[in-house]
Amino acid sequence: MKNNIQKAVFATGCFWGVEENFFHTKGVIDTKVGYAGGTKKNPTYEEVSSGKTGHTESVEVTFDPKVISYEELLDIFFQMHDPTTLNRQGPDVGTNYRSAIFYLDENQKKLAEETKVKHLKNLGKEIVTEIKPLDKFWPAEEYHQKYFLKHPNHGCPI
């Protein structure tokens, strides 16, 4: 990528809180909420929420690897949610709330798998986080982008 800027895509449940957390991380240049991991082209929030598209609420993170590494982002990912609950985060239930890492290249895949093993040892129980290649990231509707900036003190906690 230009100037060695990189991207990463994560899913940890409700995307508003995930975006907010990554948005305020040093080295993160931008965040965008959207949908990944499913089969429907250009899905809407309502379609994804139905559970019929295979997509999960996801966050695309644009970062400067000179400031924060992909490994550090992975550690933040595993710490900001419960990667041991299948298709659930807190009160949110459904396949669209599953835990997933969508890698963009073989290096990201390798680092994701290594980090998952490291956190498995720390947690001592099974981690259900999917590690899959990113087929396509579909940006969510504009009203979902930077949701907490538009609606302070509202939304899902992460």
List the catalytic residues.
14
Inter-residue contact 31 to 12 (CB < 8 Å): no
Is residue 10 within 8 Å of residue 116, measured between CB atoms?
Answer: no
Burial string for 93-114 (b: 16+ CB within 10 Å, else e) reads ebbbbbbbbbbbeeebbebbee
| Inter-residue contact 18 to 25 (CB < 8 Å) | no
